Structure 1
Amino acid sequence: MSPIRKFQVTFDCAEPVRVARFWCEVLGYVMAPPSTEFATWEEYDLSQPPEKRGSWCACSDPSGVGPRLYFQRVPEGKTVKNRVHLDVRVGTGLVGEERLATLEAEAERLLAFGAVRVEVLYDGTDSCIVMQDVEGNEFCVD
């Protein structure tokens, strides 16, 4: 049996720093330093040739438990629904109206950071709220 390995989730996007900052707010992550040579992303970016500035960014879970998120600039825009998406788990163990109220509160918080609400899925017991990040990538508040 092979050992469990760490993994990162990579996002293709137009504005890596903007999308990384959004996901830091959503998940309580912090911007990962670009390298040991630079204290901030801004310092790192200024050291790059103009065409490379803003081409990538990363953020990480300050507790070290969650996966690193990596954001890379790509020339093409998003055209179809994501094949993979993140579920932001805030309602684990809750059901019915209590669960829905918890999800609604989190969705409202995320709207302030630029998220877009797509739809609420609710069957009287289970629920989730489909949303999009600042570049239109789908995710669920679950």
Structure 2
Amino acid sequence: MSREIQVTIDSADPGALAEFWADVLGYQVQSPPPGFDSWDAALDAFGVPPERRNDASGIVDPDGHGPRIFFQRVPEEKKGKNRLHLDVRAAPDLAGEERMTALETECDRLVALGAGRVTRFEPQPPLQGGHIVLTDPEGNEFCLD
């Protein structure tokens, strides 16, 4: 039996991190519940005070194929390397220099959005096609693959 998954990411600023990852993945911030034209209207109706309105945010694949990604506020800062990270498949069908050029172009776009560049790994045939390690605005590592 297969299961749906949701990826949950701890965050200091869920709203901002959700916007970043929506841009990275081509996702969209999840729409408010039916019957509400905005999240503020929904949260007003639910009695959520203004200081708690950035406690969580979610993004969804507009095509409905990828998992929902949920960002939740936590009080502690990130410490150490991620034990789990996302690989953003920016050049899955390319090889060699063409692949690395495509990854560099996407890396430039993501750095402009607030990502940090960490390192580039060159292709090492026969199994590794090369990739670039980045961090999101809160320091979570991910790879352009």
The reply to whether residue 94 of structure 1 matches residue 94 of structure 2 is: yes
Q: In the alignment, what sits opposite 2:52? A: 52
Shift of the 89–55 alpha-carbon distance from structure 1 to 2, 3 Å rule, reads: same
Aligned residue type for 2:13: E
Aligned residue type for 1:141: L
Aligned residue type for 1:97: E
Return the TM-score normalized by structure 1.
0.91
SS state of the match for residue 100, structure 2? helix
Question: Pairwise mapping of residues 123-138 of structure 1 onto structure 2 (< 5 A)?
Answer: 123=123, 125=125, 126-138=129-141
Find the partner of 1:22 among 20, 23, 38: 20
**What is the CA distance between 1:44 and its match in structure 2?**
4.0
Q: In the alignment, what sits opposite 2:73? A: 73
Shift of the 83–34 alpha-carbon distance from structure 1 to 2, 3 Å rule, reads: farther
- Residues 82-121 of structure 1: per-residue CA shift (max 9 Å, x gap): 1111100011122111110010000001111101100001
Return the TM-score normalized by structure 2.
0.89
- Asked whether the 8 Å contact 2:123–2:131 carries over to 1, the reply is no
Q: In the alignment, what sits opposite 1:103? A: 103
Aligned mates of 2:40, 2:109 — CA distance in 1: 27
CA RMSD of aligned residues (A): 1.6
Aligned mates of 1:127, 1:43 — CA distance in 2: 46
Q: In the alignment, what sits opposite 1:32? A: 30
Percent identity (aligned):
48
- Asked whether the 8 Å contact 2:10–2:73 carries over to 1, the reply is yes
Aligned mates of 2:42, 2:117 — CA distance in 1: 34
Aligned mates of 1:114, 1:18 — CA distance in 2: 10
- Asked whether the 8 Å contact 1:97–1:124 carries over to 2, the reply is no
Aligned residue type for 1:119: T
Structure 1: where are the runs of 5+ without partners?
A: none
Aligned mates of 2:143, 2:109 — CA distance in 1: 14
Aligned residue type for 1:135: E
